[in-house]
Chain A
Amino acid sequence: MKAYVSIWRLRFVNGMQYRAAALAGMATQLFFGFVFIMIFAAFYSGSSGGEPISLQDLITYVWLQQVFLSFIMLWFRDQELFDLITSGNIAYELCRPMGLYPHWYSKLMAQRVASAVLRCFPILFITFLLPEPYRMSAPPSWASFFLFLVTLLLGLLVIVSISMLIYISVFWTMSPIGSILMISVAGEFLAGMVIPVPLMPQWLQSIAYALPFRWTADFPFRVYSGHIPVTEAAWGIAIQLLWLAILVIAGQWLMRRALRAVVVQGG
């Protein structure tokens, strides 16, 4: 366990170095947040009521997306891991007395957390100070807030297990571009990153609910705003855990198969 913590720490320290990237990222995220909110605000002002989600909840939803972007983005990738596979440096990873799956899992988690820690607090701070209607609102109850933290964390675990599948696929494809594009375009849409899930047509919502992606973003964000009530959230946690188990088991199985056929590139 200490080894994973250690990998985690080194990664974290490494990730924290990129302050300029973090600043640029924050500016971009604020910008996108504003744009999304303006669009939705325009839609809502023209609608005749009966929206599936209130504008205030929606604004919170958008800001949370931006704040925790590095927690939930599928395209957030670790070039180093891809390079390990395609350049053959994976040879060294395989000489270590630890499973490759947990090893990489902890690396990917650390990278996301490092990036989020750098960005989320300043953005959070700013979004709470914004004028109405852009201001982010606090969760309705402590229970909602607590459940949000749990679901967000579980969501992070789920997203890392999904992205592990992308990394594993590179053992066969030798290029991450295809896998990333396919999974991230579909995955992000179905996670409600483009259109919030509550605003999707009914048939599309059924698809989104049946797949793991929305459990990583849409679900925790709606728990935060109270749009998903506390009791329903508890059930959602069970489903998150189920997805996590399925994805991790599948990932480990695939990883074992990949390593059996692994070709260390470049002699």
Chain B
Amino acid sequence: MSRNKDWIRLEGIGKSFKVATRTAGLKEAAKALFVRKHTVVEALKDISFSIGEGEIVGYIGPNGAGKSTTIKIMSGILVPDGGSCSVMGYTPWKDRTDYVRHIGVVFGQRSQLWWDVPVLDSFELLRDIYKIPDAKYKQNVAMLTDMLDLEKILQMPVRQLSLGQRMRCEIAASLLHSPKLLFLDEPTIGLDAVSKLAVRNFIKTLNKEQGVTVILTTHDMSDIEALASRLLMIGKGALLYDGSLEELRGRFGTGRTVTVDYRGDSGPIDIQGATLMDWTQERAVYSFDTEQIVLADIVSRLSEKVEIVDIAVTSKDLDEMIVELYEEHQI
């Protein structure tokens, strides 16, 4: 497969919304009947990036950062105020009806299935909407049923499904027409561990075996860790980070926490280069940076004074790194 580095390209995309502002309260509500105040919220400012064919990209950012807005612009739903965007050679909002044939979209917080009818009916409607040839449709349904374990739920009305079951059906519904690009907007929201793993494995396989490009927004960093090789971070409408997960780890990942259980009465022990976070008679917790002090030094300093029973070291997890990244950019 030829890999095109600029398969998706956004340049200087901006989008602002006009929002009516009103403070709470009866008096203010009455006032708003006559005078409406509007403020302009800049949801996106000058966003530029490229994504290559076959990538899985994690798109993260705090609530209200503009993740969903970007996804909606890339999927042709919203029209940006400025900038250009090209996906597979299409401008999403201009060539919307032609373009959307090639993409699949899952909005984790919304549903595309018909609430009162069996899942399969919704699938058949999508088949007709996307004009999927019969053979292809059957093949895709069989594959998706198998991979997402839908066998038992396809004949059930959507309203009787659990959230995890529904989400699997939603994902299947977005893939019936074999899209080359899949947008997943919080696909694991509210799912239990089993469903989460199932969804993740499925996305991974899909990417590997069919070369589907995936753009994923989530607040669950373990989704990103499990799936995405590349991370885009957005905050206050601007792109703050674009790079691999390893790079991010390299940048923030030198912090460690060590928990030491010991016997022997000593009182708190200060160690140069490490910070004592917590201390009891039998346990001390230090945080340190591998660039300033190595674990062996801490252990040897401690073993001079006490008898060490157990040591547990944890490196900073992705969540903490993200928080630090947010803090760095004051968002």
Residues of A within 8 A of B (CB): 2-3, 5-7, 10, 13-14, 17, 87-89, 91-92, 94-99, 259-264, 266-267
Contacts and interface: CB of A to CB of B under 8 A. Distances in A.
A261 B17 CA distance: 9
A207 B61 CA distance: 58
A2 B128 contact: yes
Given A10-B125, A14-B117, A97-B98, A88 B131 contact: no
Of A10, A259, A261, A266, which is in contact with the most chain B CB atoms at under 10 Å from its CB? A10
B97 A95 contact: no
Contact of B97 (A98, A263, A264): A98
B307 interface: no
Contact of B76 (A13, A14, A94): A94
20 contacts: A3-B131, A7-B129, A10-B121, A10-B125, A13-B121, A89-B111, A92-B107, A92-B110, A94-B75, A94-B76, A94-B96, A94-B100, A96-B129, A97-B97, A99-B97, A259-B79, A267-B63, A267-B64, A267-B68, A267-B109
B110 A89 contact: yes
Contact of A7 (B72, B76, B125): B125
B191 to A, nearest CB: 18
Nearest to B97: A97
Given A91-B107, A262-B78, A98 B114 contact: no
Contact of B129 (A3, A88, A89, A263): A3
Given A97-B98, A99-B97, 12 more contacts: A3-B125, A3-B128, A3-B129, A10-B114, A91-B77, A91-B107, A92-B105, A92-B112, A95-B100, A96-B129, A98-B97, A267-B68
B87 to A, nearest CB: 13
B279 interface: no
A95 B76 contact: yes
Contacts of A260: 79
A137 to B, nearest CB: 40
Of A92, A98, A99, which is in contact with the most chain B CB atoms at under 10 Å from its CB? A92
B317 interface: no
Contacts of B78: 262, 264
B100 A6 contact: no
A172 to B, nearest CB: 12
